[in-house]
């Protein structure tokens, strides 16, 4: 299992130290939530923050774009050193072309779906993506409760992946903690994004180990 702490819940005044904290606690990836105040009501950061943290970690920078025009971010994110660029299916009229542009820029391409969007909306694209992000809360803010009905979509994606002999990763984001990790693992999920659970823990390493124990 891949654990990706979300720096949305980090102390922004100490971002370099917060990146190191996640890395030394055993994080596999770092999740970077880019919000534009349009696709979601919240506004966070952009490629400048990816560029700022890139020299301070070797971890995969997993960038999740909650933005209205994801096409506009490909070049700046690639230049900043992002490893994965995930955009929302609900935000692009040209998802297939955008996936190709992301790959041509040297990044892995991810496609995210909101809790209200069915897997069928993205099934024609599943052969082209490296990752599918199933949002387990409505995007925009950390600290929300996991939406149980999203579990069926994880299972559907896993089934599709097996029956079509594909290798995309399935990622979940929102309300992920020790208790919700197990339910997602059982549906075939590979990547677990956790913000408030990990950055809010007294001991991040122990919190991460508690998640990993669910896999045994």
Ligand X SMILES: O=C(CO)[C@H](O)[C@H](O)COP(=O)(O)O
Q: Is there binding between residue 4 and ligand X (CB under 6 A)?
A: no
Considering the complex, state which of residue 7 and residue 160 has its C-beta at the smaller distance from ligand X.
Answer: 7
Residue 88 as a binder of ligand X (CB under 6 A): the answer is no
Q: Are 43 and 68 in contact (CB under 8 A)?
A: no
* Catalytic residue status for 173: yes
d(CA 57, CA 48): 15
- Nearest alpha-carbon partner for 62 in 133, 122, 126, 123: 133
Q: Does residue 176 bind ligand X (CB under 6 A)?
A: yes
> What's the CA gap between 198 and 13, in Å, rounded?
18
The question of whether 33 is a catalytic residue gets the answer yes
Report the site for ligand X in 136-175 (rule: CB under 6 A). Answer: 137, 139-144, 173-175
Q: How far apart are the first and last CA of the chain?
A: 11
The answer to whether residue 70 forms part of the interface with ligand X (CB under 6 A) is: no
87 lines the binding site for ligand X (CB under 6 A): no
**Identified catalytic residue from 36, 62, 173, 190:** 173
Q: Which two tokens stand for residue 55?
A: 């020299």
Marked catalytic residue, from 11, 28, 33, 62: 33
The two structure tokens encoding residue 156: 């559907």
Among 8, 77, 172, 201, binds ligand X (CB under 6 A): 8
- Residue ranges at the known binding site for a divalent metal cation: 31, 33, 64, 173
């Amino acid at each position: 299992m891949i654990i990706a702490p979300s720096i949305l819940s980090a102390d922004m005044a100490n971002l370099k130290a917060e990146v190191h904290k996640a890395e030394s606690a055993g994080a596999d990836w770092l999740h970077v939530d880019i919000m534009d105040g349009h696709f979601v009501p919240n506004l966070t950061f952009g490629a400048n923050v990816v560029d700022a943290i890139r020299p301070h970690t070797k971890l995969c920078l997993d960038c999740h774009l909650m933005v209205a025009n994801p096409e506009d971010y490909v070049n700046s994110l690639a230049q900043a050193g992002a490893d994965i660029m995930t955009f929302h299916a609900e935000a692009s009229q040209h998802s297939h072309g955008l996936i190709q542009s992301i790959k041509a820029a040297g990044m892995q391409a991810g496609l995210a779906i909101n809790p209200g969007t069915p897997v069928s909306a993205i099934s024609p694209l599943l052969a082209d993506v490296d990752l599918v992000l199933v949002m387990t809360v409505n995007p925009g803010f950390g600290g929300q409760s996991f939406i149980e009905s999203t579990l069926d979509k994880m299972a559907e994606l896993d089934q599709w992946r097996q029956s079509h002999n594909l290798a995309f990763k399935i990622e979940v984001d929102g309300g992920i903690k020790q208790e919700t990790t197990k339910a997602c693992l059982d549906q075939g999920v590979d990547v677990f994004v956790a913000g408030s659970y990990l950055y809010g823990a007294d001991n991040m390493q122990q919190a991460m180990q508690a998640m990993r124990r669910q896999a045994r």
